[in-house]
A and B are shown apart, each in its own frame.
Chain A
Amino acid sequence: MHTLGSHPGVTGALLLLLSLVGSVSHSSPTGRLPVEEFELANGMRFLLLERPAMPTIEAGWVVGSGAADDPEGSTGISHFIEHMMFKGTRSVGSHEIDRELTTLDRLAKIEEALAEPSPSGRKAARRRSELESEQAELEQQARNLSQLGAFSLEYSRLGATRLNANTAEDLTLYYVTLPAEVVELWFWLESDRLLQPVFREFKKEQQVVAEERRRRVDSTPTGAADLQFDTNFWRGTSYSKSPLGRPADVSQLRRAEVADFFAQQYRPAGLTAVLVGNFDPGRIKRLAQTYFGRLGSQASSAASVGQAAPTNWEPERSRQEALDLTCECPPQVKIRYPTVPFSHPDQHALQLAAGLLNGRSGRLYRQLVLGQEIAFAAFAQQTPLRYAGSFTVTIEAKGGTSAEALLSAWDEEVARLSAEPPTEAELTRVKRRLATESLNQLKDPHLLMRRLLVYAGLGDWSQLADWTEHISTVRPEAVTDVAERYLNSERRLVGSYRRAKAGE
């Protein structure tokens, strides 16, 4: 059993050997994203993008592990760790760290004992009751020893803002905005929470996560239906697990398994940090080495979980499937096809196909919204994940238009897309619009930092810088080709959303 708060992957022996490995500057062909990249000996990578006019620095790091890595029976564990990472460290968040760790260790042992199948009989029941009493007492004791919110407070007191994190299917992001002059604080706190986190307030946070799920899924118009659709689409693959996890799984998470999972996933070779803003790159490199160089490297040569491709990423579907979904939403159909992952060369043609369909001059708006007036709104999107991808079209019905009529209208658009390449003029218009949108996405430094984290977490940050170049080379025939190959009705899932009838 691991002692909570320790990071089993950290040892001191290798620390003095660490040094920067390679420092290469990658500029995008357009020169718009002059990112400097370097890697520490332990495998942790850094991406630096200077914006000298800014008074702040946007800083974050990504671990290439997310909900798809959650073990069966422990779904939601990646997201729960994300919450736990704000509970402080050995150095930050305790009134008396040794006593607190001893208490937390004992709590973990009690949880393990209570998780064992319980033998019948009065003696066993009494023992169980004793353990539960001790557990309640220790939880209160641990709470008294901890300083709630101390980790966030260290940031706030020096003016850091937007401290937050997100868990997705393939990755988990942690980020913050700092006044430029206090950047060392980020190095201190982030390396510390990777080195020696303490997972405090475990039970309370399970309740918070349950509230988050109710808020995001159960109390929104389409939350539950969307979740059902996603789970069905990815059935049989690791992407069928929602980042929020199943409520029963989250409520039964134990401290020891969370600590184990953290140790397994949060290894330096799976981490990439991004800094955007006003800084001296030389100083940043020194700080990176000093602080993050402390993270143990023994795991860096091993395949980090989330980086080795398992085999079950393709949805198992050989014929069209349909789902009837109830929601508190307008009638709509959602049609999803399996496509290609992030790094696949067809990715850009698929994104261009979505571009042809979207926008005021897009085919969906002109045909379904304005022309036939059967849709209130319609939108297409290619979504790449690390090992798989999907193309989704959502069409909201107008008036009493049936789901069948919407599906039929969509099929006509697919037939058109597959049969005849777009004209050069149409394609050029879409490429120009997408290029401006893409350029705009590089403007906001906070969003840029988060996008770089996502692209790096998926495997290649330079895809962000080079996106416009890739899009510009797509030929009309390539759009037809991907439409024909991937928008295949036999492999799609069709969800028909309708409002629940009374009593349903």
Chain B
Amino acid sequence: MNRRLALAVMAVAAAGVGVAGEGQSTEVPTPALGGHEIPPHPRQLQFQPSSWSPPRSADSRFDLAGGVNGFLVGDATLPLVDIVVVARAGADRETSDQRGLAQLTAALLRRGGTRDLEPAAFDDRADELGVIMHSQSTPLYGAATLRTTSEALEEGVELLLDMIERPRFDPTRLASIKRNMAEGMTRRNLDPTAVLDREWDWLLYGETHFSTQPLRPSDLERSTSAAVTEFHRRHWRPENLTFAVSGDVDRERLARLVNPRLEAWASRLAAAERFSWPPEPPTGQPRAGLFHVAADIPQAKVALGHRAPPDLPTDEERVRLEVLAEILGGRGAISRLNGRLRSAEGLVYGVELRLDPGDLWPADYRVAFDTLGRNTCLAMSAALEEIERIRSAPPHPEELAVVKRELLARQFQAFDTAEEAVGYLVQDWLVGRSPDYRRRYGALLEQVTPQDVLATARLNLWPEDLTVLIVGPWESSRGNLDAAGVSELERIVGHRVEALPKRDPSTLQPSN
């Protein structure tokens, strides 16, 4: 399930090398050279504190015509402009007989042509202008994007507005896309990581919520051109749109380009229907236990965790949780899980930890790693010990200080480009986070104490309620059996294993 807002504006972060460590280093003198003293140890370097702070959300926010929300972070470094139009037109707007329409509508926006241009002519026009356009969807939103040079901005914006306001939804393209999507469904069991993610979501959230329901062949059959057109008419409306704009453009120029079109569009529409926000949360009860999906690979892909507590956190609690996550399994030097499982034990290439409390409903906390089948018991024990350790004692003040610095620096990094900056601001706004959250972040971080981290760990990490899922070879992963036939892994986890059924890749119904 993609609970994160998959805004195309978010940059891809490279994975860090996570290793644990602590303590002071031995100081070995190094010669001073070239008129500049080289201290014998990096801790003797002196630095000025940074005076940088994130941009104010209110400075970027403005209203466009037709009730459209706008965010703009300007940057003239390159003659390039990015526009992401986010629409509240996700799968939550589908009724039970409309499943897949949000996804198909978003997919067809870019590929299905416009009122004035056949699909192929639209593609050619985009290339003539040198603009790059996409459309896509997540469970909660649809999105259409334009990347253009400043020079082609005017024509590019026209094309973007044509695409979102007057899509053609060409039936031939729709049929082609549906056939490709059906083909894609037949491939859903091939990647063991995708299988792990799918089964994980179903174990924790159930299979019936719009955010975890997969597309099935029968959904495609029902999705006609008329149905897509109707879904677009109801949900891709100006008042449902947010423009996230970054790059070489200012607010006035943007308003001149889009407002007349948005105003005219809004004036032609009937009154909007009312939809509840936020949508209903998943109602499936998480299943604790040990679960296994067979896969013919040398490694066991392991995930362990549980749903987040029922109450969404305050900003203060959210920051404490981030600190906890960074200490337990973050991307920097202080990652106890990576320090233990990778650096000290050599059992894994990396451990991924996600402590996501959720934005609209409780999400989940998950530790995931891949390890050679026969090392699964060792790695599982080590991971559980580290979880227990962080619940047993507060972190060392030095450990906490390093993590705070890392987290604060990641805020800096998040605002390296205008595109990333506007992405964060829009994301905060869409989920209703306080507008000054990014600016208060440093102060909130500073307040976190070792005792806060301990309390947060005890409140949030529940080793007794774990869901443990393994995709891979069971025989080599389970460890030795005792006289009663109970495996070592089952003893470590405290549950007998339940083999999850093989599923037909297209229907995802059990096939055995």
What's the least CB distance linking B190 to chain A, in Å?
Answer: 5
Interface flags for B103-140 (1: CB within 8 Å of A; 0: not) read 00000001100000000100110111111100000000
Bin the interface of chain B by size: 35 or more
The verdict on B75 contacting chain A, using a C-beta distance below 8 Å, is yes
Q: Do A211 and B348 form a contact, CB below 8 Å, given A156-B334, A159-B408, A180-B50?
A: yes
Complex contact A148–B21 (CB within 8 A) = yes
Expressed in whole angstroms, the minimum distance between the Cβ of A469 and any Cβ of chain B is 15
Across the interface, B180 reaches (CB within 8 A) one of A376, A428, A429, namely A376
Chain B residues whose CB sits within 8 angstroms of the CB of A162 once the complex forms: 13-14, 16, 331, 413
B406 touches A445 (CB 8 A): no
- Could you show 12 A-B contacts with beta carbons less than 8 Å apart? A97-B26, A147-B21, A162-B13, A163-B17, A182-B45, A211-B372, A398-B183, A429-B124, A432-B130, A443-B77, A443-B80, A445-B416
Known contacts A153-B22, A153-B334: does B130 contact A435 (CB below 8 Å)? Answer: yes
Given A18, A95, A188, A442, which contacts B42 in the complex, CB threshold below 8 Å? A188
Interface presence of B298 (CB below 8 A): yes
Stretch at the interface among B31-39, B204-212, B237-245, B257-265: B31-39
Per the 8 Å Cβ criterion, residues 140-164 of A in contact with B are 147-150, 152-164
With A86-B17, A436-B131 given, is the CB distance from A204 to B344 under 8 Å?
Answer: yes
| Chain A residue nearest in CB terms to B19 | A149
Q: Does A286 contact B (CB under 8 A)?
A: yes
List chain A residues, Cβ under 8 A from B28.
90-91, 97
Q: B30 in the interface, Cβ–Cβ < 8 Å?
A: yes
Distance from A471 Cβ to chain B, minimum over Cβ atoms (Å): 12
A294 CA to B34 CA, complexed, in Å: 9
Nearest Cβ distance between residue B82 and chain A, in whole angstroms? 8
State the CA gap A443–B81 with chains docked (Å). Answer: 11
Query: Any chain A CB within 8 A of the CB of B297?
Result: yes
Q: In the complex, which residues of chain A have a beta carbon less than 8 angstroms from the beta carbon of B149?
A: 435-436, 439
Considering only residues 65-101 of chain A, those with a C-beta below 8 Å from chain B are: 86, 90-97
Check B415 for interface membership: any CB of A closer than 8 A: yes
User: Which B residues are in CB contact (< 8 Å) with A18?
Assistant: 34
Residues A428-477 near B (CB distance < 8 A): 428-430, 432-433, 435-437, 439-440, 442-446
Chain B residue nearest to A162 (CB atoms) is: B14
Tell me if B47 and A156 are in contact (CB < 8 A): no
Q: Of the 9-residue stretches A53-61, A106-114, A124-132, A404-412, which lies at the interface with chain B? A: A53-61
Query: How many Å from the CB of B407 to the closest CB on chain A?
Result: 9
Q: Is the CB of A51 within 8 A of B77?
A: yes
Taking Cβ atoms with an 8 Å cutoff, the residues of B that contact A are: 11, 13-23, 25-28, 30-31, 33-36, 38-43, 45, 47-50, 52, 75, 77-80, 110-111, 120, 123-124, 126-132, 147-149, 176, 179-180, 183-184, 186-187, 190-192, 296-299, 301, 331-334, 339, 342-349, 370-372, 401-403, 405-406, 408-410, 412-413, 415-417, 419, 472
> Among the listed B40, B296, B406, which residue makes an inter-chain contact with A159, where contact means beta carbons less than 8 Å apart?
B406
Complex-state Cα separation, A290 to B39, whole angstroms: 12
Q: How far is the CA of A423 from the CA of B347 in the complex (A)?
A: 57
Cα A219 to Cα B297 in complex, Å, equals: 5
- Contact assessment for A436 and B120 in the assembled complex, using a CB-CB cutoff below 8 Å: no
Cβ-based interface call for A230 (8 A): no
Q: Is A341 an interface residue (CB 8 A)?
A: no
Q: Which of B21, B23, B180 has the most CB of A within 10 A?
A: B21
Taking a contact as CB atoms under 8 Å apart, the answer to whether A286 and B80 are in contact is: no
Name the distance in Å between A18's Cβ and chain B's nearest Cβ. 7
Quick one: CB contact mask for A200-211 with B, threshold 8 Å, 1 for yes? 010111111011
Is A329 close to B, CB under 8 A? yes
Contacts of A284 in B (CB 8 A): none
Contact of B190 among A92, A161, A163, A221 (CB under 8 A): A221
A214 CA to B372 CA, complexed, in Å? 8
List of A residues within 8 angstroms of B47 by Cβ: 158, 181-182, 184-185
- B78:A439 contact, CB within 8 angstroms: yes
Inter-chain contacts of B333 with A (CB < 8 A): 149, 152-153, 155-157, 163
B300 to chain A: closest residue by CB: A219
Please tell me which one of the listed residues A96, A148, A165 contacts residue B17 in the complex, with CB atoms under 8 A apart.
A165
Binding site for B on A (CB under 8 A): 12, 15-16, 18, 32, 51, 53-56, 86, 90-97, 147-150, 152-165, 177, 179-182, 184-185, 188-189, 192, 201, 203-208, 210-212, 214-215, 218-221, 286-287, 289-291, 293-294, 328-330, 359-361, 366, 369-370, 373, 376, 398-399, 428-430, 432-433, 435-437, 439-440, 442-446
Query: Given that A220-B191, A436-B149 are contacting pairs, would A157 and B405 also be in contact in the complex, using a CB cutoff of 8 Å?
Result: yes
Q: How far is the CB of A193 from chain B (nearest CB, A)?
A: 11
The answer, among B296, B343, B417, for a CB contact under 8 Å with A444, is B417
- Chain A residue with Cβ nearest B194: A221
The 3 closest A-B pairs by CB, nearest first: A149-B21, A432-B130, A159-B409
A207, B346: Cβ atoms under 8 Å? Answer: yes
Tell me which of B33, B342, B408 contacts A293 (CB under 8 A): B33
Report yes or no: A55 in contact with B415, Cβ–Cβ below 8 A.
yes
Whether the pair B31, A12 counts as a contact (CB closer than 8 A) is yes
Bound Cα distance A51, B76 (Å): 11
Q: Which of B40, B410, B472 has the most CB of A within 10 A?
A: B410
Interface centre among A163, A219, A291, A361 (most CB of B within 10 A): A219
Q: Once the chains bind, are B79 and A161 in contact (CB under 8 Å)?
A: no
- Among residues of A, the one whose C-beta sits closest to the C-beta of B49 is A181
B184 and A287: CB pair below 8 A?
Answer: no
Query: Which B residues are in CB contact (< 8 Å) with A159?
Result: 405-406, 408-409, 412
Q: Cβ of B343 and Cβ of A201 under 8 Å apart?
A: yes
B439 to A: closest C-beta gap in Å = 13
In the assembled complex, the Cα of A93 lies from the Cα of B20 at a distance in Å of 12
A165 to chain B, nearest CB (A): 7
B298 touches A290 (CB 8 A): no
Q: Across the two chains, which residue of chain A brings its CB closest to B134?
A: A360
Instruction: Identify the interface centre among A286, A432, A442, A443: most chain B CB within 10 Å of its CB.
Output: A443
- By the criterion CB–CB under 8 Å, are A161 and B130 in contact? no
A315 to chain B, nearest CB (A): 30
Q: Is the CB of B412 within 8 A of A361?
A: no
Could you tell me the distance between the alpha carbons of A99 and B476 in the complex, rounded to whole angstroms?
A: 40
Q: A93-B25, A150-B21, A221-B191 are in contact. Are A361 and B415 (CB under 8 A)?
A: no
A376 to chain B: which residues have CB within 8 Å? 180, 183-184
- Asked if residues A290 and B79 are in contact (CB atoms below 8 Å), the reply is no
Query: Which residues does chain A contribute within 8 Å of B124, judged by CB atoms?
Result: 361, 429
Docked CA distance A161–B407 (Å): 9
CB distance from A436 to the nearest CB of B (A): 5
- Identify 4 new A-B residue pairs, CB closer than 8 A, beyond the known A188-B45, A432-B127: A56-B413, A150-B23, A152-B17, A440-B80
Contact, CB under 8 Å: A161 / B331: yes
Closest to A365 in B: B123
